[in-house]
Structure formats: C-alpha cells, structure tokens
C-alpha cells in the first residue's frame, strides 16, 4: 500500500518552497514496505485562490523591499497578548483556506501532512479541531475507499519551521511534531508550552544538490576573480531586499584589498542601478554583479564573507558552507530573531551605529584568525541531514500508526459508528 504525503508550502519568500523541495526529494527516493512514497508539494495560497496568492505573496515581497518596518510592526503585534496562541484558527484567510482544503483531503487521502508555512497548518488544524463526523473506519484501512459526504480525515501533521525562531502562528495544539533548526529553537517552543517530545531539532532542510560544489579556484576564475584574494558576497535574498546599493558604496570606500560579488536576485531594477553606478567607478577593486543565479551552491563555497539579510534558508546555507556573515540590514521580525540566534552562537557579526560594516570587515581582513573563530562556531551549530531525518520521522509515524490500528481492530475497540476524532485520538495515544 503506497503512502501519500502532502507538503504544504506558500510563496512568501523562497525559503518555504525550497525546504519543501528538499523534503520531497528525500521522501520520493525512499520505499516504505517496498513501495515508493507518493509526495506532492501544494502551494497553499495558489490552491485556494490566485488573487489571494498574488495579494499575500506580492504583499510580502513589496513589504520586504519597501516597508520592512511596517512588516516588523505587524509581526510583533501578532506575538502580543492581543492575539493569543491557537486563536489564528478564526482568521478569515485561514478559515477560507480550511474550506478549500476539505476537497484536497478527500481527493488525495494523505497519510501524512508536512507544512513548511504556518498558514496552511493553521487551516488544517481548524479542520482537525472541528472534525466530529462519524465515519466507517475502513476509510483508514482501505486505500481505495472514497470519502463520502462531509467526511474529513486529517492525518498526522509535521510543521517544519524555516527560521531560527518561533512565532505564535506556528503553535497549534493539533500539530503532532515540530521540526526546528536548532536546540535553542526547541527550547523556545517548550517555553511556549509545546511538549518537548514533539519537537525535533533536525535543522532546516536543504536539497542534496546544494551540498555539492565545484572547487573554489574554478568558480572564482569564471567570475573573473583571483582565487588568492579575499572575496566578499553582498546580497539580499531572492527579492534583492536590503540596502544593497548603499552597502556596496561603503565597501568600495574601504582601504583594504578584496574583491566584491553582488547578487541582486530577481530585483532587475536594482541590478540596473548598480551597473550604472559602477560605470564611473575606477578605484581598483574588482566588482562583479549578478542577477538571479542557480549557482549558489558553488558561490557560497567559494567566498570568504557573506554580507546579507539573515533569511532562514540564507542563514542555513551559509552555515552549511562554513561562511561567516556580517549583517547590516534585515527585515524586522523573524530575520531580526535569526540574527539574534547567529549572534548568540558567535556565527555572525551585526553592524551597529559605532561598529560599522567597514570597521568589522577591516578587522576580519587584518586578522584572519577571527574568521577562523567564526567558522569554528559555525561548525558547532550547523546541522546536516535534516531532510533525511524528517523522512525517517515520517516512516516512524507510518509504522506506528499501522501497528496501532491493527491492534485496535484486533481488540474490537473500533466500531463502525466510532467518530473519526476518536479513531485518530486512539491512534495518537
């Protein structure tokens, strides 16, 4: 019997979808009881409504680039006592999503749901909480049995947090397991009342292809750089957010010898402005500007310092490649808290009014041992094999529930009029 897994994501930033692809890659390469696992990534907002997707996804992108402070204010408000935990189920958007997800669950009949974005998990938690329909337990046994009427069966759910922090939207009583980036984040969830046994500090998942890379000399030579010089990468995530232009101008004024790579992502307007700026620049530093690139696995393995905003996946990829970060800008909210995590672990430097970017970078250039110290701290916190561990957790859930259901059937504890919620509660016990 083939197991079916839905991975619920959303296109608010690139990290949620990239994490989803990493998990799917690992699951679809495995067999359960000799049978391949069926795995599908659902872009939740697109599934519900294309207009809603454009409003929310584009709204996130625009706020990240143009009004980050406003985004941060909304983020912090949603963490206050004005909006208590587990109350997001009554949100208009997630309630609408919950209605749309009923058909999805009936059509796909998944054995497991993994979420890399909180919105769909809130909606599914709403369904699970409100599920009181009586069903024939053969729904759970026979894979060809079709859901009828208003029957809804919400399977076990795993939430994969894609930042090194927590937020109220992630915390729902109906979630079976949480996967987080580090033990510090696990303790944050435990502090918020989540059972410690439900939290797995596996790390944030990345695709296997990212972990391989070409040698540094080849990559830098292709970019027109010298392999013998310190190389600094400036970027701002897939949207090209952050004060990249101003940061580059500051770097160009530093009286040290190094080379600069700038990646503007999908922000074509920003790339055009920087290219025009560099036409009149004749101060000796080698500067290369790229737009969107799919070679980040090679590039991150070839640079010495990353100057970027600390998005969840950007942070994870830098850690996996042993690249120290200097953070001069961020989107208030989860990125600010990612920076708190990195700073507390001694894995990144943060600029302040006194300790400017130029001050920090000069010290790293003049004293390479400080770069080595940052890399040593990075090695102590980075986590490989997250996607593999998530797949193993999925297998444990499949095996345990199959075993428990067989035991319940043999003991006649499940009757034909047993409610779905009672069945699932017994399976969860």
Domains and CATH numbers, the chain: 4-204+384-428 (3.40.50.2000), 212-381 (3.40.50.2000)
- pLDDT at residue 144 greater than cutoff 90: no
pLDDT of res. 147: 46
Contacts of 26 (CB under 8 A, 6+ apart): 205, 208, 387, 388, 390, 391
Neighbours of 81 (CB within 10 A): 6
- pLDDT at residue 138 greater than cutoff 50: no
pLDDT of res. 91: 60
- pLDDT at residue 365 greater than cutoff 50: yes
Whole-structure pTM value: 0.83
Helix pair angle (92-108, 50-66), 10° resolution: 130
280: burial class by Cβ within 10 Å (0-12, 13-18, 19+)?
A: exposed
Euclidean distance between CA atoms 47 and 61, whole angstroms: 19
- pLDDT at residue 58 greater than cutoff 60: no
The arithmetic mean of pLDDT across residues 129-158, rounded, is 58
- Give 264's DSSP letter: -
| 65 vs 391, more confident | 391
Structural Rg of the chain based on CA atoms = 24
pLDDT tier for residue 291 given thresholds of 50, 70 and 90 = very high
pLDDT of res. 153: 83
pLDDT of res. 2: 85
Query: Could you read off the pLDDT of 321-347 as tens digits, one per residue?
Result: 999 999 999 988 889 999 999 999 999
| 343 vs 135, more confident | 343
pLDDT of res. 45: 80
- pLDDT at residue 141 greater than cutoff 70: no
Residue 367 backbone dihedrals phi, psi, to 5 degrees: -130, 85
* Residue percentage of the chain with pLDDT more than 90: 60
pLDDT of res. 283: 73
- Cα Dmax for the chain: 82
Contacts of 402 (CB under 8 A, 6+ apart): none
Query: Could you read off the pLDDT of 273-289 as tens digits, one per residue?
Result: 999 989 887 778 999 99
pLDDT of res. 142: 45
């Amino acid at each position: 019997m083939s197991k079916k897994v839905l991975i619920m994501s959303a296109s608010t930033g690139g990290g949620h979808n990239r994490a989803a692809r990493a998990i799917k890659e690992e699951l679809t390469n495995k067999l359960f009881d000799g049978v391949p696992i069926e795995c599908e990534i659902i872009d939740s907002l697109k599934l519900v409504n294309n207009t809603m997707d454009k409003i929310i996804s584009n709204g996130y992108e625009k706020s990240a680039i143009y009004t980050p402070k406003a985004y941060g204010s909304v983020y912090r408000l949603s963490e206050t006592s004005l909006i208590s935990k587990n109350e997001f189920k009554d949100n208009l958007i997630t309630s609408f999503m919950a209605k749309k997800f009923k058909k999805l669950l009936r059509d796909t009949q998944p054995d497991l749901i993994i979420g890399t974005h909180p919105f769909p998990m809130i909606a599914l938690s709403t369904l699970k909480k409100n599920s009181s329909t009586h069903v024939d337990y053969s729904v759970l046994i026979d894979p060809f049995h079709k859901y009828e009427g208003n029957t809804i069966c919400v399977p076990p759910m795993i939430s994969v947090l894609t930042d090194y922090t927590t937020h109220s939207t992630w915390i729902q009583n109906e979630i079976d397991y949480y996967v987080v980036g580090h033990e510090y984040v696990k303790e944050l969830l435990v502090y918020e009342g989540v059972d410690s046994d439900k939290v797995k500090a596996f790390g944030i998942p990345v695709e296997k292809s990212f972990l391989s890379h070409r040698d540094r000399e080849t990559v830098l030579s292709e970019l027109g750089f010298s392999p013998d010089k310190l190389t600094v990468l400036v970027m701002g995530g897939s949207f090209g957010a952050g004060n990249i232009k101003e940061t580059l101008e500051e770097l160009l004024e530093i009286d040290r010898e190094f080379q600069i790579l700038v990646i503007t992502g999908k922000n074509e307007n920003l790339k055009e402005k920087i290219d025009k700026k560099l036409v009149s620049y004749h101060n000796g530093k080698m500067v290369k500007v790229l737009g969107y690139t799919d070679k980040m696995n090679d590039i991150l393995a070839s640079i010495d310092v990353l100057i970027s905003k600390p998005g969840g996946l950007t942070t994870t990829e830098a850690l996996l490649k042993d690249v120290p970060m200097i953070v001069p800008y961020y989107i208030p909210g989860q990125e600010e808290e990612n920076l708190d995590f990195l700073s507390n672990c001694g894995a990144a430097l943060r600029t302040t009014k006194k300790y400017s970017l130029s001050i920090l970078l000069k010290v790293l250039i003049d004293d390479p041992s400080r770069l080595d110290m940052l890399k040593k701290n990075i090695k102590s916190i980075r986590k490989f094999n997250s996607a593999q561990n998530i797949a193993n957790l999925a297998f444990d859930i499949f095996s345990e529930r199959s075993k428990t259901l067989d035991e319940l059937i043999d003991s006649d504890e499940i009757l034909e009029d047993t409610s779905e919620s009672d069945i699932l509660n017994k399976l969860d016990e």
